[in-house]
Amino acid sequence: MKEKLSIVKIGGNVIENTSELEKFLTLFSELEGLKILVHGGGKLATQLATKLGIKSKMVGGRRITDAETLDIITMVYAGLTNKNIVARLQAKNCNAIGLSGADGNSIQAHKRPVKHVDYGFAGDIDSVNTALLAHLLTLRLTPVFCAMSHDGKGQLLNTNADTIASELAIGLGDIFVTTLYYCFEKPGVLLNVSDDTSVVKEIDTKKYKQLLAGGVIADGMLPKLENCFHALNNKVDTVCLGNMDMLDKNDSMFTTLTL
């Protein structure tokens, strides 16, 4: 019988808020069974870049990762943010191990081809080392991934954290009963973006198409929901979308996505 695995992605709005991060890490550490955490850290990277006089370049909400920016995000994502999270999880009796995609060859990618925009050292994922991750999980370690991969030729790559979470869930879907959680600032998919009580609690493929056609899913939610259904179509059992409170067993305000 397959063991249950929870993969949780948390965004920068929580990471940069000390009390919110503490609350999240408590909820995460109390999740039953095997678990993996994936985190971003873009806002902190932008703040450090500004302090160092390096201008952050964004196109359509995506970071242009030149050589200087890659150094910054390596320091912030794989260093400061990752190790701070790991240390705080250890204090909560969650035996975490901090990783980038280069560690243990866990996530290999290629540099995104230039089409309309040159995103620089941005990575699109090719493979996940499921054997290594399954071994770490069976040792009762909790991997904590920052949003970085590598190309197998010595080059680190900035990689979307939502995509990393999705690809980890897909890669491990054959081995574990996998639930993927996307934690962000809203309590789920909303019928009315200005009303946090208008959560759509369940979305299947049919409902997804209806919400797309009605313009309910738009802007930043589009790529997030695409990642969700990509995961569901590739062996991931359940995807949940909402704020950190959905990790609390007693909370019912979040969106569950299924086929």
User: Lowest-confidence range among 16-25, 111-120, 121-130, 218-227?
Assistant: 218-227
Tokens of 175: 């081995």
- The owner of tokens 């704020």 is 243
| pLDDT of 30 | 96
Residue type, 196: D
Strand-strand pairing, 238-242 and 177-183: parallel
Residue 158 labeled ligand binder: yes
Residue 140 labeled ligand binder: no
Decide yes or no: CATH 3.40.50.720 for domain 4-257: no
Q: Where are the domains of the chain?
A: 4-257
**Cβ atoms within 10 A of the Cβ of 126, count?**
13
The band of 138, judged by pLDDT with boundaries at 50, 70 and 90, is: very high
17 contacts: CB under 8 Å, gap ≥ 6 = none
> Is residue 186 within 8 Å of residue 13, measured between CB atoms?
no
Kindly tell me the sign of the dihedral angle through the C-alpha atoms of 14, 15, 21, 24. Answer: positive
**What Cα–Cα distance (Å) separates residue 148 from each residue in 69, 98, 114?**
13, 12, 19
The 10s digit of each residue's pLDDT in 146-194 is 999 999 999 999 999 999 999 999 999 999 999 999 998 889 999 988 8
**What Cα–Cα distance (Å) separates residue 32 from each residue in 84, 124, 238?**
22, 31, 16
Where in 100-245 does DSSP place strands (E)? 107-111, 123-128, 142-145, 148-150, 156-158, 177-183, 202-203, 238-242
- Own/partner contacts of 220-226, CB < 8 Å, gap of 24 or more, are 220/61, 221/189, 223/162, 224/162, 224/182, 224/184, 225/189, 225/257
Q: Is 192 strand, coil or helix?
A: coil
- The dihedral over CA atoms of 197, 202, 206, 211, expressed in degrees to the nearest 10, equals 20
**Cβ atoms within 10 A of the Cβ of 113, count?**
8
Residue 222 or residue 37, greater confidence: 37
The 10s digit of each residue's pLDDT in 37-75 is 999 887 888 888 899 998 888 887 678 999 999 999 999
206 contacts: CB under 8 Å, gap ≥ 6 = none
> Is residue 36 within 8 Å of residue 89, measured between CB atoms?
no
Residue 104 labeled ligand binder: no
pLDDT above 80: residue 231: yes
Percent of the chain with pLDDT over 70: 99
Residue 13 labeled ligand binder: no
User: Lowest-confidence range among 103-112, 159-168, 242-251?
Assistant: 242-251
d(CA 11, CA 184): 6
